[in-house]
Amino acid sequence: MTRKYFGTDGIRGRVGDHPITAEFVLKLGWAAGKVFGQSAKGRKLILVGKDTRVSGYMFESALQAGIIAAGVDVELMGPMPTPAIAYLTRTFRAQAGIVISASHNPFDDNGIKFFGGDGFKLPDQVETEIEKYIDQPIVTAHSEDLGRAHRIEDAAGRYIEFCKGTLPAGFNLDGLRIVLDCANGATYHVAPNIFRELGARVIRTATEPDGFNINKDCGSTSPAALQRAVKEQRADLGIAFDGDGDRVLFVDHKGELVDGDELLFIIASHRQRVNGCNGVAGTLMTNYGFELAVRELNIPFVRTKVGDRYVIEAMREKGWQLGGESSGHIVCGDLTTTGDAVVSALQVLRAAVQTGRQVHELKKGMQKLPQRMINVRVGRKIVLDGNQAITQAVTRAEQALKGSGRILLRPSGTEPVIRVMVEGSDLGLVENLAKEVAVVVEKALQ
């Protein structure tokens, strides 16, 4: 279903460039109010949260005005992690939750994400309905029918208790020394309290947002500083979130990065040994070593298109409780409805504490295979299927890998490139095959 404004994760772009303008977001708020207000059987209510970008103030006010004009109440939460909005939307019985955030992007980007009343991201048909209203002129409700705005003062406390409640009674992190990198983003005021209240000694970093430093040389997209801090502080581990708190990466006690595939494996393998794991959903980019590792544990595995919404769709379709991406976007479907960095981190720590093993040791259960990615730039939209030269090159590469790796060709969704990715057990072979296929792709597409 083609949509004009919505992408795979809401609406996102550079602040000041259409559609990330105050004028458009005002209209978007009104359109959302009209769509969700129609479905309300009682009080009409939409929750609004944001990350720490300076532009969040502007867009919060614009959304608030538009929603109220549509005759719907607004509950404002201020800076809160994206998964917190999903959770609180359910607990407040709201028709929708809206997050003002561009996730792991720099401060001069921003975006608008939506959750339905069930805490899941919106289906395509609802986004399409909102877009229909965006193309109509705003009609303000009569004064007696206008919405009202309130601010939820205890939103952070509610989310903190929810996160702690995802662990067994009596579970604690006593004795653990953790460096916490909050990316100067939405987790800055909740995550340190969660880990500290569970008994850990928390060393905070990137927890002083100023509106401009979100994701800047910190967080899950820039973990180098956290790696240094873990070694300098002689910590047991480090945890890095992204700007809106839906992605997480770890650094083990040796200063080595532990990515989303490895974290997902730690959670899945622990669950399999304790109560069983009925399946895991990954993406086309999930390391082949993960697939081999869960196969050894007799855990079913499926790949989806890149994007957490596709992972969640597969999980719901199959009735599985676990899925995620290499980026650290991990979904524990038995605990929450979307990727939650804090909840996922706690599940990893649960595995470490209950097994008495360090994260460095737990991640060794999965051997990441060498991976090489080459971006082939193209000047127009390309259809790869049916190109004989490319098909033959891929077939030759697959034969050379002899079942010990894989090759993937994927058009980027954000830039004009074809991504050529090869994985395998032999690094030299992987490098050569990636270069050979990339050359064929480039020639074939000229």
* Catalytic residue numbers, as ranges: 103
How far apart are alpha carbons 179 and 239 in whole angstroms? 6
Q: Could you say which DSSP state residue 364 is in?
A: G
Phi then psi for residue 77, to 5 deg, are -115, -10
- Residue given tokens 């059987």 in the structure block: 41
How far apart are alpha carbons 192 and 207 in whole angstroms? 9
Q: Taking a C-beta distance cutoff of 8 angstroms, is the pair 84, 98 a contact?
A: no
Q: Which residues contact 299 (CB under 8 A, 6 or more apart)?
A: 268, 272, 277, 279, 280
Identity of residue 184? N
How far apart are alpha carbons 66 and 283 in whole angstroms? 37
Q: Which residues contact 166 (CB under 8 A, 6 or more apart)?
A: 332, 335, 336, 343, 346, 347
Radius of gyration for the chain, computed over Cα atoms and rounded to the nearest angstrom:
23
Phi and psi based region of residue 50 (left: phi greater than 0; alpha: psi -120 to 50; beta: remaining):
beta
Pick the closest to residue 423 from 321, 307, 282, 315 (CA basis).
282
Pick the closest to residue 409 from 422, 399, 426, 427 (CA basis).
422
In this structure, how many other beta carbons lie within 10 angstroms of the beta carbon of residue 64? 19
Pairing of strands 371-377, 417-424: antiparallel
DSSP string for 57-79? HHHHHHHHHHHHHTT-EEEEEEE
